[in-house]
Structure 1
Amino acid sequence: MRPFFVYGTLKRGQSNYARLLAGQTVSEMRAWLPNTALYTAGPYPFLVEAVDLVPPGATVFGELMTVAVDQYQQTLALLDELEDFVPGRVGNLYERVIRMVQTAVGPCEAWVYIAGAVVEAAIRRGELWLIDSGEWS
Protein backbone atom coordinates (compact mmCIF):
# COMPACT_ATOMS: atom_id res chain seq x y z
CA MET A 1 0.00 0.00 0.00
CA ARG A 2 2.09 2.84 -1.35
CA PRO A 3 1.30 6.52 -1.00
CA PHE A 4 0.32 8.51 -4.08
CA PHE A 5 2.34 11.37 -5.55
CA VAL A 6 -0.25 13.86 -6.81
CA TYR A 7 0.61 16.93 -8.86
CA GLY A 8 -2.60 18.24 -10.42
CA THR A 9 -6.29 18.24 -9.58
CA LEU A 10 -5.71 15.81 -6.69
CA LYS A 11 -3.56 18.31 -4.76
CA ARG A 12 -5.00 20.03 -1.69
CA GLY A 13 -7.24 22.90 -2.72
CA GLN A 14 -7.99 21.39 -6.14
CA SER A 15 -11.33 19.96 -7.29
CA ASN A 16 -10.53 16.26 -7.22
CA TYR A 17 -8.83 16.44 -3.83
CA ALA A 18 -12.10 17.51 -2.24
CA ARG A 19 -14.00 14.80 -4.12
CA LEU A 20 -11.62 11.84 -3.74
CA LEU A 21 -8.94 12.38 -1.09
CA ALA A 22 -10.26 14.72 1.60
CA GLY A 23 -10.82 12.70 4.76
CA GLN A 24 -9.19 9.57 3.27
CA THR A 25 -5.55 10.33 4.12
CA VAL A 26 -3.42 9.87 7.23
CA SER A 27 -0.53 11.98 5.91
CA GLU A 28 -0.09 14.70 3.30
CA MET A 29 3.24 16.36 2.57
CA ARG A 30 5.01 18.40 -0.07
CA ALA A 31 6.98 16.26 -2.52
CA TRP A 32 8.78 16.52 -5.84
CA LEU A 33 9.94 14.27 -8.65
CA PRO A 34 13.17 15.31 -10.39
CA ASN A 35 13.81 14.73 -14.09
CA THR A 36 10.13 14.98 -15.00
CA ALA A 37 7.95 17.68 -16.57
CA LEU A 38 4.31 18.76 -16.66
CA TYR A 39 2.34 19.37 -19.84
CA THR A 40 -1.27 20.40 -20.31
CA ALA A 41 -3.87 21.19 -22.93
CA GLY A 42 -6.37 22.64 -20.48
CA PRO A 43 -8.07 21.48 -17.30
CA TYR A 44 -5.47 19.01 -15.96
CA PRO A 45 -1.77 18.19 -16.32
CA PHE A 46 0.24 15.19 -17.47
CA LEU A 47 3.55 14.21 -15.92
CA VAL A 48 6.14 12.94 -18.40
CA GLU A 49 9.56 11.40 -17.92
CA ALA A 50 10.58 10.71 -21.53
CA VAL A 51 14.05 12.20 -21.98
CA ASP A 52 13.11 14.07 -25.17
CA LEU A 53 10.18 15.79 -23.41
CA VAL A 54 11.87 16.80 -20.15
CA PRO A 55 14.02 19.95 -20.17
CA PRO A 56 17.35 19.67 -18.33
CA GLY A 57 16.90 20.15 -14.60
CA ALA A 58 13.09 19.98 -14.75
CA THR A 59 11.20 18.87 -11.64
CA VAL A 60 7.50 18.32 -10.95
CA PHE A 61 6.21 19.55 -7.58
CA GLY A 62 3.23 18.02 -5.82
CA GLU A 63 2.15 16.24 -2.68
CA LEU A 64 2.59 12.78 -1.23
CA MET A 65 -0.74 11.41 -0.03
CA THR A 66 -0.81 8.42 2.32
CA VAL A 67 -4.29 6.92 2.31
CA ALA A 68 -5.82 5.29 5.40
CA VAL A 69 -5.53 1.49 5.33
CA ASP A 70 -9.29 0.94 5.52
CA GLN A 71 -9.85 3.32 2.58
CA TYR A 72 -6.92 2.23 0.42
CA GLN A 73 -8.49 -0.23 -2.04
CA GLN A 74 -11.54 1.95 -2.64
CA THR A 75 -9.37 5.06 -3.11
CA LEU A 76 -7.01 3.20 -5.46
CA ALA A 77 -9.97 2.11 -7.61
CA LEU A 78 -11.40 5.65 -7.68
CA LEU A 79 -8.03 7.18 -8.64
CA ASP A 80 -7.50 4.58 -11.38
CA GLU A 81 -10.95 5.44 -12.74
CA LEU A 82 -10.27 9.18 -12.59
CA GLU A 83 -6.96 8.74 -14.44
CA ASP A 84 -8.50 6.35 -17.00
CA PHE A 85 -6.00 3.66 -16.00
CA VAL A 86 -6.72 -0.05 -16.43
CA PRO A 87 -3.80 -2.39 -15.63
CA GLY A 88 -2.50 -4.06 -18.79
CA ARG A 89 -4.68 -2.06 -21.18
CA VAL A 90 -3.05 -0.55 -24.24
CA GLY A 91 -3.95 3.11 -24.75
CA ASN A 92 -4.38 4.23 -21.14
CA LEU A 93 -4.57 8.00 -20.75
CA TYR A 94 -2.25 7.64 -17.74
CA GLU A 95 -0.08 4.76 -16.57
CA ARG A 96 0.31 4.04 -12.84
CA VAL A 97 3.98 3.42 -12.02
CA ILE A 98 6.17 3.20 -8.93
CA ARG A 99 8.71 6.00 -8.56
CA MET A 100 10.96 7.29 -5.80
CA VAL A 101 9.73 10.78 -4.93
CA GLN A 102 11.55 13.28 -2.75
CA THR A 103 10.21 14.86 0.43
CA ALA A 104 11.68 17.03 3.18
CA VAL A 105 12.06 13.90 5.35
CA GLY A 106 13.73 11.85 2.61
CA PRO A 107 12.84 9.77 -0.45
CA CYS A 108 9.70 7.65 -0.56
CA GLU A 109 8.43 5.03 -3.00
CA ALA A 110 5.03 6.06 -4.34
CA TRP A 111 2.46 5.47 -7.05
CA VAL A 112 2.63 8.10 -9.78
CA TYR A 113 0.24 8.52 -12.70
CA ILE A 114 2.33 9.41 -15.76
CA ALA A 115 1.23 10.28 -19.29
CA GLY A 116 0.42 7.29 -21.47
CA ALA A 117 1.92 6.77 -24.92
CA VAL A 118 -1.01 8.47 -26.70
CA VAL A 119 -0.49 11.63 -24.65
CA GLU A 120 3.27 11.58 -25.21
CA ALA A 121 2.63 11.38 -28.96
CA ALA A 122 0.30 14.40 -28.73
CA ILE A 123 2.99 16.34 -26.86
CA ARG A 124 5.49 15.54 -29.60
CA ARG A 125 2.98 16.86 -32.17
CA GLY A 126 2.81 20.14 -30.24
CA GLU A 127 -0.77 19.67 -28.99
CA LEU A 128 0.09 20.25 -25.31
CA TRP A 129 2.32 22.86 -23.75
CA LEU A 130 5.00 22.67 -21.09
CA ILE A 131 4.32 24.07 -17.62
CA ASP A 132 7.75 25.61 -17.06
CA SER A 133 7.46 25.88 -13.28
CA GLY A 134 6.65 22.19 -12.79
CA GLU A 135 3.82 23.30 -10.53
CA TRP A 136 0.08 22.96 -11.23
CA SER A 137 -1.84 25.71 -9.47
Structure 2
Amino acid sequence: MPTEPERLPFFVYGTLRPGRANHARCLRGRTAAEESALVRGVLLYEGPGYPYAVAGPADAVVHGDLVQPREDVHDEVRAALDRLEGYVPGAPGNLYERVAWRAERADGETVRAWLYVAAEPLAGQLRASGTPVPGGDWLRGRAH
Protein backbone atom coordinates (compact mmCIF):
# COMPACT_ATOMS: atom_id res chain seq x y z
CA MET A 1 0.00 0.00 0.00
CA PRO A 2 1.50 3.38 -0.96
CA THR A 3 2.22 5.77 1.87
CA GLU A 4 1.39 9.47 1.77
CA PRO A 5 4.36 11.82 1.52
CA GLU A 6 5.39 13.69 4.63
CA ARG A 7 3.57 16.95 5.28
CA LEU A 8 6.65 19.12 4.92
CA PRO A 9 6.76 22.80 4.06
CA PHE A 10 7.75 23.67 0.49
CA PHE A 11 10.85 25.64 -0.46
CA VAL A 12 9.85 27.80 -3.44
CA TYR A 13 12.31 29.80 -5.54
CA GLY A 14 10.49 31.01 -8.67
CA THR A 15 6.91 31.64 -9.74
CA LEU A 16 5.55 30.15 -6.49
CA ARG A 17 7.19 32.83 -4.33
CA PRO A 18 4.89 35.36 -2.64
CA GLY A 19 3.84 38.08 -5.06
CA ARG A 20 4.32 35.92 -8.16
CA ALA A 21 1.57 34.54 -10.43
CA ASN A 22 1.68 30.87 -9.37
CA HIS A 23 1.70 31.80 -5.70
CA ALA A 24 -1.58 33.63 -6.31
CA ARG A 25 -2.97 30.61 -8.21
CA CYS A 26 -1.83 27.79 -5.94
CA LEU A 27 -0.97 29.14 -2.49
CA ARG A 28 -2.72 32.42 -1.66
CA GLY A 29 -5.01 31.92 1.34
CA ARG A 30 -3.85 28.32 1.76
CA THR A 31 -0.70 28.80 3.86
CA ALA A 32 -0.13 28.86 7.60
CA ALA A 33 3.31 30.50 7.30
CA GLU A 34 5.63 32.00 4.69
CA GLU A 35 9.18 33.15 5.39
CA SER A 36 12.42 33.90 3.57
CA ALA A 37 14.81 30.96 3.49
CA LEU A 38 17.62 29.42 1.49
CA VAL A 39 18.87 26.02 0.45
CA ARG A 40 22.50 24.99 0.06
CA GLY A 41 23.99 22.54 -2.41
CA VAL A 42 21.65 23.68 -5.20
CA LEU A 43 22.26 25.76 -8.33
CA LEU A 44 19.55 27.78 -10.04
CA TYR A 45 19.30 28.01 -13.84
CA GLU A 46 17.19 30.21 -16.09
CA GLY A 47 14.30 28.49 -17.79
CA PRO A 48 11.58 29.58 -20.19
CA GLY A 49 9.89 32.07 -17.85
CA TYR A 50 10.72 30.18 -14.67
CA PRO A 51 13.88 28.79 -13.06
CA TYR A 52 15.14 25.25 -12.52
CA ALA A 53 16.96 24.08 -9.40
CA VAL A 54 19.68 21.45 -9.85
CA ALA A 55 21.75 19.70 -7.18
CA GLY A 56 25.17 21.34 -7.20
CA PRO A 57 28.29 21.92 -5.13
CA ALA A 58 27.96 22.23 -1.36
CA ASP A 59 28.76 25.97 -1.42
CA ALA A 60 25.97 26.80 -3.92
CA VAL A 61 23.01 28.72 -2.46
CA VAL A 62 19.48 29.37 -3.71
CA HIS A 63 17.33 32.07 -2.11
CA GLY A 64 13.59 31.64 -1.85
CA ASP A 65 10.75 31.19 0.59
CA LEU A 66 9.65 28.45 2.94
CA VAL A 67 5.89 28.00 2.58
CA GLN A 68 3.88 25.91 5.03
CA PRO A 69 0.44 24.93 3.71
CA ARG A 70 -2.41 25.00 6.23
CA GLU A 71 -2.91 21.53 7.71
CA ASP A 72 -6.50 21.26 6.41
CA VAL A 73 -5.40 21.77 2.78
CA HIS A 74 -1.84 20.37 2.81
CA ASP A 75 -2.60 17.33 0.64
CA GLU A 76 -4.62 19.46 -1.78
CA VAL A 77 -1.79 22.02 -2.04
CA ARG A 78 0.81 19.27 -2.59
CA ALA A 79 -1.32 17.79 -5.39
CA ALA A 80 -1.75 21.24 -6.99
CA LEU A 81 1.99 21.94 -6.85
CA ASP A 82 2.81 18.48 -8.24
CA ARG A 83 0.44 19.18 -11.18
CA LEU A 84 1.94 22.63 -11.74
CA GLU A 85 5.47 21.20 -11.78
CA GLY A 86 4.53 18.26 -14.01
CA TYR A 87 5.56 15.81 -11.29
CA VAL A 88 4.06 12.34 -11.01
CA PRO A 89 5.76 10.18 -8.35
CA GLY A 90 7.88 7.50 -10.05
CA ALA A 91 6.91 8.50 -13.58
CA PRO A 92 9.54 8.64 -16.30
CA GLY A 93 9.64 11.90 -18.19
CA ASN A 94 8.94 14.19 -15.22
CA LEU A 95 10.15 17.75 -15.78
CA TYR A 96 10.76 18.13 -12.04
CA GLU A 97 11.24 15.73 -9.14
CA ARG A 98 9.97 16.56 -5.63
CA VAL A 99 12.71 15.78 -3.11
CA ALA A 100 13.15 16.36 0.63
CA TRP A 101 15.96 18.91 1.21
CA ARG A 102 17.31 20.96 4.10
CA ALA A 103 16.09 24.58 4.04
CA GLU A 104 17.64 27.23 6.27
CA ARG A 105 15.47 29.85 7.93
CA ALA A 106 16.68 33.43 8.50
CA ASP A 107 17.52 32.54 12.13
CA GLY A 108 19.81 29.71 10.94
CA GLU A 109 17.50 26.86 11.94
CA THR A 110 17.28 24.14 9.31
CA VAL A 111 14.13 22.20 8.47
CA ARG A 112 13.26 19.49 5.99
CA ALA A 113 11.21 20.84 3.11
CA TRP A 114 9.95 19.71 -0.28
CA LEU A 115 12.00 21.10 -3.15
CA TYR A 116 11.27 20.69 -6.85
CA VAL A 117 14.50 20.02 -8.77
CA ALA A 118 14.98 19.51 -12.50
CA ALA A 119 14.74 15.84 -13.42
CA GLU A 120 17.26 14.04 -15.62
CA PRO A 121 18.13 14.39 -18.46
CA LEU A 122 17.23 18.09 -18.17
CA ALA A 123 19.41 18.54 -15.07
CA GLY A 124 22.45 17.26 -16.99
CA GLN A 125 21.71 19.58 -19.92
CA LEU A 126 21.45 22.55 -17.57
CA ARG A 127 24.74 21.66 -15.85
CA ALA A 128 26.43 21.41 -19.27
CA SER A 129 25.04 24.47 -21.03
CA GLY A 130 22.43 26.24 -18.87
CA THR A 131 22.48 29.89 -17.82
CA PRO A 132 23.01 30.16 -14.05
CA VAL A 133 20.88 32.65 -12.12
CA PRO A 134 23.30 35.20 -10.60
CA GLY A 135 23.46 34.89 -6.81
CA GLY A 136 20.87 32.10 -6.79
CA ASP A 137 17.98 34.57 -6.41
CA TRP A 138 15.57 34.43 -9.36
CA LEU A 139 13.54 37.45 -8.20
CA ARG A 140 16.48 39.80 -7.76
CA GLY A 141 16.26 42.42 -10.48
CA ARG A 142 12.89 41.22 -11.79
CA ALA A 143 9.81 43.41 -11.67
CA HIS A 144 6.97 41.99 -9.59
Q: Please give the TM-score of this superposition, normalised by the length of structure 1.
A: 0.90
Per mean C-alpha deviation after superposition, the further-off stretch among 100-109 and 6-15 is 100-109
Q: Shift of residue 102 of structure 1?
A: 0.3
Query: Does residue 95 of structure 2 align to residue 89 of structure 1?
Result: no
Query: Does residue 28 of structure 2 align to residue 22 of structure 1?
Result: yes
Q: Please give the TM-score of this superposition, normalised by the length of structure 2.
A: 0.86
Query: Does residue 104 of structure 2 align to residue 98 of structure 1?
Result: no
Percent identical among aligned pairs is 38
**Structure 2 residue corresponding to 1:120, chosen from 116, 120, 123:** 123
Equivalent position amino acid for 1:39 in 2 = Y
After superposition, the Cα gap between the structure-2 partners of 1:58 and 1:124, relative to the gap in structure 1 and judged at 3 Å, is closer
Q: Shift of residue 117 of structure 1?
A: 0.4
Counterpart residue number, 2:38:
32
Counterpart residue number, 2:4:
none
Aligned counterparts of 1:40 and 1:123: Cα–Cα separation in 2: 9
Q: Shift of residue 29 of structure 1?
A: 0.5
- What is the aligned length? 132
Q: Report SS of the residue matched to 1:129.
A: coil
Aligned counterparts of 1:124 and 1:107: Cα–Cα separation in 2: 26
Task: State whether residues 41 and 56 of structure 2, in contact with CA within 8 Å, keep that contact through their aligned partners in structure 1.
Answer: no
Task: State whether residues 84 and 94 of structure 1, in contact with CA within 8 Å, keep that contact through their aligned partners in structure 2.
Answer: yes
Q: CA RMSD in A?
A: 1.3
Counterpart residue number, 2:110:
107
Structure 1: unaligned runs, 5 residues or longer = none
Q: Shift of residue 125 of structure 1?
A: 4.5
CA offsets, 1:23-77, max 9 Å, x none? 00000011100121100133000111144xxxx7320000000000111111111
Q: Shift of residue 16 of structure 1?
A: 0.2
Counterpart residue number, 2:18:
12
